[in-house]
Amino acid sequence: MKKVHNTACPRNCYSTCSFKVWTEDGKVINIDPQPLNKATPEGICLKGLSYVERVNSPRRILYPLRKINGKFKQISWENALNEISEKLNHHKQKYGPQSILFYYASGMSGLLNSVSTNFWKMFGGATTVYGNLCWPAGLEATRLTLGENKHNVPWDLKNAKLILVWGKNPAESNIQQMIPIEKAQQKGAKLVFIDPRRTDSSERANLLVQPVPGTDGILALALAKILIEKDLIDRDFINKYVLGFDQFKESVLKININEASKECGVSIEFINKLANLVGTVKPMTLIPGYGMQRYTNGGQTTRCLLVLSIITGNIGKPGACWHYADLQGDIFSKIKEPLSYFPPEKPDGIFRREIATARLGEDMLRMNKPELKMAWVERGNPLSQNPDSNKIKEAFQKLDYSVVVEQFMTDTAREADIVLPAKTMFEQSDIISSYWNPYVQLRQKVIDPIGEVKPETEIYYLLAKKMGFSDSEIEKNIPSPSDESIENWLSEQIKPWPEISIEKLKEGPVLTPVLQEIAFSDFKFTTPSCKIELYSETAQEKWRVNPLPSYEKTAERKDTVENYPFNLMSPNTKNRIHSQFGNLESIKLVDPEPFATINLGDAEKKGIKEDDFIRVFNDRGELNIKVKIDASLRPGNIVIVNGYWHEEGACPNILSKGRETDMGHGTAFHDNMVDYEKIKN
Amino acid sequence: MNKNIFIFDQNKCVGCHACVIACINENGFQSPEQWRNVHKSQDHHFPDLPLFYLSIACNHCDDAPCMKNCPALAYSRDKKTGAVIHYPEKCIGCKYCTWACPYDAPKYNPKSGIVEKCTFCNHRIEEELKPACADLCPVGALDFSNTVFTSEESKASTPVPVEVGSNIKINKRRNNSGPEIDLDIFENQQYHKKETKKYEKISAIKEWPLVIFTLLSAILVSLYASNRTELFQPNNKLFYLGLGAVSALLSMFHLGKKFRVWRSVLNQKSSWLSKEILSFALFFVGVLMDFFLIDIPNVIVVFLGVILLISIDMLYSLATWRWPIKIHSAQSVFIGITIYLILVNSIYLLAFILTFRLTIYIFRAFISSNTNLILPVLRILLPCIAFGVLLYQELILSILLLIIGEIIDRVQFYNELGVPDPKEEFHLTITKKS
């Protein structure tokens, strides 16, 4: 019998598409669009469509696997759980619970993920990480300035007259954003991109400005100076809502436009063009991407960009907003991002949270009293996704024992002693929200787990039983495996909001009950001063940065790093979400093998042609990869997209350094200078 | 009257390939080639040119060239939906439809030995659903509609300048240029190079059995027509028939499904390939009867041979669409006539036909500004020498020289054939303006 179900995509992606999934005899067979979601009405991206393969893939891990003499062999759940519980007890008794690293990342979102933390708490604690690989610098910059992270609903973008997309490539990373962009363009809106690359998104722009990576801050400040000098600013707005404009003005007027132009590699002519558009076309929505803030200066860069929205009064109005992240859908977290990423000021004695995600390998090796002896990894693939892979590999190989819960044999799973089969999004219900569209959604269970797959909650449940925790203690922390129990647990989470119920969510996406369609339209800002803070004392106190938005040079740049003159950019591709999807046959049809993109002039200088192999290297590592030529990439840059596996020989994190951003405990892996040369056959 | 059509908006497509995966989910995995292609308007992304996309599969043309040219009647139109449907069990894998289709819709699968193609998701249309690709385009760039679509609209929309009643409506770009950028950043590199069109679908190397088949056919027909009895001694007769058999086998080798070869004669109405195979068979039946059974009038057999050569030439006419003149010096009929005239020693007519052919040859070489001059020079010299040799009554040497010339010309003929290709045409749309 064919059946259709509503669900939503739980990947770490802006779009968080709603879609419908068809099943027949316990098998996922096809996917349909879900028009009820106003942000993703037309359909899901190619990755979402490839779920049909992903869930049914013959390469999925369907049974517990034990590494024996370097090879993985299928074992029973009974044996797997026995062994793991022995190891857990052993390490807890001998070295203390904090000798065990509990690591998770953003592989699958859902409220039930908190059950994992409950287990480790019940177990007596563990070592965990703080910070995040993705976006905290920008979140923190926005929080410091506007008080919270929210933006206008995605479909409001069609009301903008100027869309300034800065360092984002929505055509690949948030494809449904192209719908309101096109609508706005049909109505005559100007579309402007700032990006060293020329992407499928910027190809349709009116203007594309291509600065040197990592110098966006100075470009923004130069624009701000011109706007102030030409009096293209919204004085009323500034007077009413902005704190610190005078100090900012004083500091920004000192900027020398010639020097700024030289620093960011954008001609004065183009800086003026840009300033003129920003100053005269209203309303403007400024859409910053997440790539820029993954530099060592990421937070301050974001604050510099924010200036443009603020001094032109483009906040709190239809068509006008700072479109960074919308956390209005997250009604569940007691502590919201980015605060939840920060290490505790006072450790609770249960969880040792002293490892920075950004420095995972280095910090893991640094841990003592107790040293790390064991790791449990779920929803993540740190060996390919965190910076400085070699260090992480070293740290994992130093462990006595590790467990990885995975769907496929990833780089991290390969390093494990035991691999437990992970559920897919179709095999357990959960509730998710988005950081772009304002919906709360049910990711529905539509099939029973394939093979011997068990959802993480069930793994923990069985493990807790095996380890002899009392039924009442288990019940308090972990829902029992039945579908009914999971639904009850989820119902409990949404109880405070009568507008949302499981039944309603089954019918489709539900708008967040706290939604403000036009963010900050009440002009209430939850900063310490209750104003938009151009001048932020908190920034200075907490992060030791300039209280004003200021341009700081990145740690790695052409003139400071000897021998490595090329910026390695590692943006996202439409064909992967981080390290997921690239292993699927259907995705390989579109993207068969890893490649690096270089500029035509650079290639000619080095005698490299399309499809040649090059060696990309720096002090941290090297990789060999095929070349594609993009004559529109700014010279001096090389692009290797994020998400390639070491197994494919092309993971860019072999070259990146574990380093934190200036604020928010983000990861500055985009400060990454390299060189490359042709490999002679 | 309403028709089912694809609608494609160039302003909306960002080349995401969701349509390709949607098709796979609906119709099964497709490898090595996918039914739907997403073409880029340029490969190297030159900064002074725009880059945009064309998502295209089968346009279910009213005057479908695949169906018209299929010798095996493997195509038919689904009356309910208007879809052009290919029936795999009827396909002989001759690949001729892949040449005939200007949109590159039929895909030859070397693994199965047959062609596959888009079905318009006619099973979905029957249930009043859009084709999967159109239903699932995440930005609404590819769509489907049941609407009035005139032949003028079709002509205005077709991504390849042919008039076959394609059922795709294309909303063209509002602005056929890329974003304004600072070109000074790129002064270290050459701006876009004029890329010459390269039609790669047909080449002499890939189609070598056909090169030999068509040359042998011309030689064998002219040999027979010359009626030079001294050549047809019993041993020579067997050799002659042997060559015919080799020729037939070679043409069979070209098929993906060799045991379905009998199907190749089914479409006498509109496929020149069917006519070619039938006239080839009838010609050899005639020769066989003439050699060993009854004395049938030569003229009948020769007539069949002429039909064969004309069919061969007509067969390739669809791949000559970009040629400035439609006649080629290496057409089978010309080769046949030339050899015939040598054999019957008709010097003046031979001089005439050779001059005629060389004229077209030189004209073509001049127009196509072929940079490789060795082959044309050799080609021109060979018949001249052969003609001189012939004047000294060295028949065999003369024929030999001529045949070498014919091989060169025929190889060039295959290499010059080009079928309309959406990708190449799409590339042209951005360079035409500049």
One domain for residues A570 and A633: yes
Residues of chain B in contact with residue A32, where contact means CB-CB under 8 angstroms, are 135-136
State whether residue A210 sits within 8 Å of chain B by CB.
yes
One domain for residues A156 and A284: yes
The average pLDDT across A193-211 equals: 98
* Strand runs labelled E in A71-200: 71-74, 100-104, 126-130, 162-166, 190-194
State whether residue B135 sits within 8 Å of chain A by CB.
yes
CATH 1.20.1630.10 fits B208-416, yes or no: yes
Q: pLDDT tens-digit profile of A500-552?
A: 999 999 999 999 999 999 999 999 999 999 999 999 999 999 999 999 999 99
The nearest alpha carbon in chain A to B53 belongs to A200
pLDDT at A342: 97
- CATH for A90: 3.40.50.740
Chain-chain contact of A635 with B21 (C-beta, under 8 angstroms)? no
Instruction: Among A45, A204, A266, select the one facing B18 at the smallest CB separation.
Output: A45
Residue with tokens 């008039």: B163
One domain for residues A113 and A170: no
Q: How far is CA A375 from the centre of its chain?
A: 23
The lowest-confidence range among A662-671, B44-53, B152-161, B389-398 is B389-398
Tell me the shortest Cα–Cα distance from A155 to chain B, in angstroms.
13
Instruction: Using pLDDT thresholds of 50, 70 and 90, give the confidence band for residue B434.
Output: very low
Q: pLDDT tens-digit profile of A450-482?
A: 999 999 999 999 999 999 999 999 999 999 999
Q: How far is CA A514 from the centre of its chain?
A: 24
One domain for residues A584 and A470: no
> Is residue A536 one of the residues assigned to a domain?
yes
One domain for residues A316 and A359: no
State whether residue B348 sits within 8 Å of chain A by CB.
no
Structural domain range at position A606: 566-678
The lowest-confidence range among A120-129, A167-176, B286-295 is B286-295
pLDDT at B420 over 90: no
- CATH for A177: 3.40.228.10
Q: What is the mean pLDDT of chain B?
A: 90
Instruction: Among A178, A208, A629, select the one facing B179 at the smallest CB separation.
Output: A208
pLDDT at B2: 95
Q: Which of residues 161-190 of A touch B (CB under 8 A)?
A: 171-172, 175-176, 178-179, 182, 185-186
Residues of chain B in contact with residue A193, where contact means CB-CB under 8 angstroms, are 179
State whether residue B197 sits within 8 Å of chain A by CB.
no
pLDDT at B211 over 70: yes
Residues of chain A in contact with residue B190, where contact means CB-CB under 8 angstroms, are 600
Q: Give the best-scoring range by mean pLDDT among A171-175, B43-47, B319-323.
A: A171-175
The nearest alpha carbon in chain A to B50 belongs to A203
pLDDT at A217 over 50: yes
Residues of chain A in contact with residue B41, where contact means CB-CB under 8 angstroms, are none
Residues of chain B in contact with residue A175, where contact means CB-CB under 8 angstroms, are 14, 16, 18, 138-139
One domain for residues A531 and A443: no
Q: What is the mean pLDDT of chain A?
A: 97
pLDDT at B194 over 80: no
Q: pLDDT tens-digit profile of A237-260?
A: 999 999 999 999 999 999 999 999
DSSP one-letter string for A476-538: HHS--SSHHHHHHHHHHHHTT-TT--HHHHHHS-EE-TT--SSTTTT----STTSSEESS-HH
pLDDT at B297: 85
One domain for residues A259 and A317: yes
Q: pLDDT tens-digit profile of B171-187?
A: 999 988 899 999 999 98
pLDDT at B197: 60
Q: Tokens standing for B342?
A: 């040598």
One domain for residues A425 and A504: yes
Chain-chain contact of A631 with B44 (C-beta, under 8 angstroms)? yes
State whether residue B177 sits within 8 Å of chain A by CB.
no
Chain-chain contact of A198 with B179 (C-beta, under 8 angstroms)? yes
> Is residue A25 one of the residues assigned to a domain?
no
pLDDT at A626 over 80: yes
pLDDT at A371 over 60: yes
3-state secondary structure A93-125: HHHCHHHEEEEECCCCCCHHHHHHHHHHHHHCC
Residues of chain B in contact with residue A602, where contact means CB-CB under 8 angstroms, are 188
Q: pLDDT tens-digit profile of A4-60?
A: 999 999 999 999 999 999 999 999 999 999 999 999 999 999 999 999 999 999 999
> Is residue A81 one of the residues assigned to a domain?
yes
Which option is the CATH number for B2-183: 3.60.15.10, 3.30.70.20, 3.40.50.300, 3.20.20.70? 3.30.70.20
State whether residue B129 sits within 8 Å of chain A by CB.
no
State whether residue A513 sits within 8 Å of chain B by CB.
no
pLDDT at A349 over 70: yes
Instruction: Using pLDDT thresholds of 50, 70 and 90, give the confidence band for residue B201.
Output: confident
The nearest alpha carbon in chain B to A203 belongs to B178
The lowest-confidence range among A150-154, B226-230, B312-316, B382-386 is B226-230
Chain-chain contact of A193 with B182 (C-beta, under 8 angstroms)? no
Chain-chain contact of B45 with A610 (C-beta, under 8 angstroms)? no
pLDDT at B384 over 90: no
Q: Any residues with CB less than 8 A from the CB of A528 and at least 6 apart, and which?
A: A537, A538
> Is residue A35 one of the residues assigned to a domain?
no
State whether residue B30 sits within 8 Å of chain A by CB.
yes
Residue with tokens 């590699």: A265
The lowest-confidence range among A180-194, A579-593, A640-654, B244-258 is B244-258
Q: Which of residues 45-64 of A touch B (CB under 8 A)?
A: 45-46, 49-50, 52
Chain-chain contact of A46 with B20 (C-beta, under 8 angstroms)? yes
The lowest-confidence range among A116-120, A533-537, B385-389 is B385-389
Q: What is the DSSP letter of A452?
A: T
Instruction: Using pLDDT thresholds of 50, 70 and 90, give the confidence band for residue A680.
Output: confident
> Is residue A283 one of the residues assigned to a domain?
yes
Chain-chain contact of A42 with B139 (C-beta, under 8 angstroms)? yes
Chain-chain contact of B184 with A50 (C-beta, under 8 angstroms)? no
Chain-chain contact of A574 with B137 (C-beta, under 8 angstroms)? no
Q: Where are the domains of chain B?
A: 2-183, 208-416
Instruction: Among B180, B190, B192, select the one facing A206 at the smallest CB separation.
Output: B180
Could you give the number of structural domains in chain A?
A: 3
**Chain A / chain B CB contacts < 8 angstroms:** 158
One domain for residues A237 and A317: yes
One domain for residues A532 and A660: no
> Is residue A638 one of the residues assigned to a domain?
yes
Q: Which of residues 573-602 of A touch B (CB under 8 A)?
A: 574, 585-587, 589-590, 599-602
pLDDT at A526: 97
pLDDT at B271 over 70: yes
3-state secondary structure chain B: CEEEEEEEECCCCCCCCHHHHHHHHHHCCCCCCCCCEEEECCCCCCCCCCCCEEEECCCCCCCCHHHHHCCCCCEEECCCCCCEEECHHHCCCCCHHHHHCCCCCCEEECCCCEEECCCCCHHHHHCCCCCHHHHHCCCCCEEEEEEECCHHHHHHHCCCCCCCCCCEEEECCCCCCCCECCHHHHCCCCCCCCCCCCCCCCCCCCCHHHHHHHHHHHHHHHHHHHCCHHHCCHHHHHHHHHHHHHHHHHHHHCCCCHHHHHHHHCCCCCCHHHHHHHHHHHHHHHHHHHHHHCCCCHHHHHHHHHHHHHHHHHHHHHHECCCCCCCCCCCHHHHHHHHHHHHCCCHHHHHHHHHHHHHHHHHHHHHCCCCCCHHHHHHHHHHHHHHHHHHCCCHHHHHHHHHHHHHHHHHHHHHHCECCCHHHHHHHHHHCCC
Tell me the shortest Cα–Cα distance from A35 to chain B, in angstroms.
11
Q: How far apart are CA A300 and CA A218, in angstroms?
A: 10
One domain for residues A167 and A245: yes
Tell me the shortest Cα–Cα distance from B45 to chain A, in angstroms.
5
The average pLDDT across B410-423 equals: 90
One domain for residues A464 and A337: yes
pLDDT at B433 over 60: no
The lowest-confidence range among A650-659, B182-191, B215-224 is B182-191
pLDDT at A412 over 60: yes
